[in-house]
Amino acid sequence: MRNGRKTREIKRVRNETLVALRVIYPGPIQADQLFRSLLVLFPTLEFDHFKRDLHYLCDKTYVQRVETEGDHDPALIPWRRRWFRLTTSGIELADSCITDPALDES
Partner 1 sequence: MMASLKKPRSANLARTLPYEMQQSLGIKARATDCITRDVANKIDNKHAITETYGVTIEQVQRYLQRIRQHPLRPEKKAIEIAQKKAEIAIETENKRTEEHRTRQANVSEVLDKVFGDLAKCEPDLWSHRAFLMLMGLAYEKLSTNEDELSTEELVKLTKALGDACKVQPKVKTDMGVRQKGQEQTDPIPKKFAEIVQQVYGTNFNETEDPREGGVGG
Q: How far is the CB of 104 from partner 1 (least distance, A)?
A: 15
Answer yes or no whether residue 88 interacts with partner 1 by CB under 8 A: no
Which SS3 state, helix, strand or coil, does residue 56 take?
Answer: helix
Contact positions with partner 1 (CB under 8 A) in 35-74: 36-37, 39-41, 66, 68-70
With respect to partner 1, which residue has the nearer C-beta, 28 or 90? 28
Tell me whether residue 35 is exposed, middle or buried, using C-beta atoms within 10 angstroms of its C-beta: 0 to 12, 13 to 18, 19 or more: buried
With respect to partner 1, which residue has the nearer C-beta, 1 or 22? 22
CA distance 11 to 17: 10
The number of residues that bind partner 1 (CB under 8 A) is 25
Phi, psi for 28 (deg, rounded to 5): -95, 170
Q: How far is the CB of 69 from partner 1 (least distance, A)?
A: 4
Cis peptide before 26 (omega within 30 of 0): yes
Q: Tell me which of 13, 14, 17, 29 binds partner 1, using CB under 8 A.
A: 29
With respect to partner 1, which residue has the nearer C-beta, 25 or 79? 25
CA distance 39 to 45: 6
